[in-house]
Amino acid sequence: MTITDLVAPEAILSSLKVNAKKQVLQEIAARAAELTGLNERSIFEVLLQRERLGTTAVGYGIAIPHGKLPKLDRMFGLFARLDRPVDFEAMDGQPVDLVFLLLAPEGAGADHLKALARVARLLRDQEIAKKLRASRDAQAIYAVLALPSATAA
C-alpha cells in the first residue's frame, strides 16, 4: 500500500485556514464526510475521542489524526497543509502545520497500524516535509506525496 492508495488528489487541502486544533478536526471531518459519504459528526466524534487519549501530533509540526469507522469500506486518507500552524499539544511543543487524516474500517486491525506507520515515516522525512510546506497547491502536494521516495516510506 502506497500513500497515494490512501489519499486521492481531491482529498488534499493546500491552505486550510484554521485557528485551533478543534477547528482543524472539524474542517477535515467535514471534507472527509463529503468524500466518503459518511456522517460528518461521526467522523468528528471519532477524531475527538482519539485526541482525548493523547495528542495525535507526532512532532516536527505534524499531526496524524485517525480513527476507525464501522461504515467505512476501505482506508481513507486526507492531507491538509494549514495556512498557519496551530497548537496541537505536541510532545515537542511545536505547533502543527501538516495534518494527515487517516480513517480505517472498524475491522482493519494491523492494516490500520501499518498505514499509520507509513504516514508517520513519510511525514517525518524532513526533505518530504520541506517540499510539502513549500507546495502551494493541491496538485503540487499530491506530486510530492506520489514521489517514489514518498511511496517507499
Q: What residue spans define the domains of the chain? A: 17-151
> CB atoms < 10 A from the CB of 24, how many?
22
pTM, two decimals, is 0.95
The tens place of each residue's pLDDT in the chain, 153 residues long, gives 788 889 999 999 999 999 999 999 999 999 999 999 999 999 999 999 999 999 999 999 999 999 999 999 999 999 999 999 999 999 999 999 999 999 999 988 899 999 999 999 999 999 999 999 999 899 999 999 998 766 555
- CA–CA separation, 118 and 141 (whole Å): 17
Contacts of residue 136, defined as CB under 8 A and 6 or more positions apart, other chains included, come to 14, 15
What kind of fold does domain 17-151 have according to CATH?
A: Mannitol-specific EII; Chain A (3.40.930)
Q: Are 12 and 38 in contact (CB under 8 A)?
A: no
Q: Which residues are catalytic?
A: 66
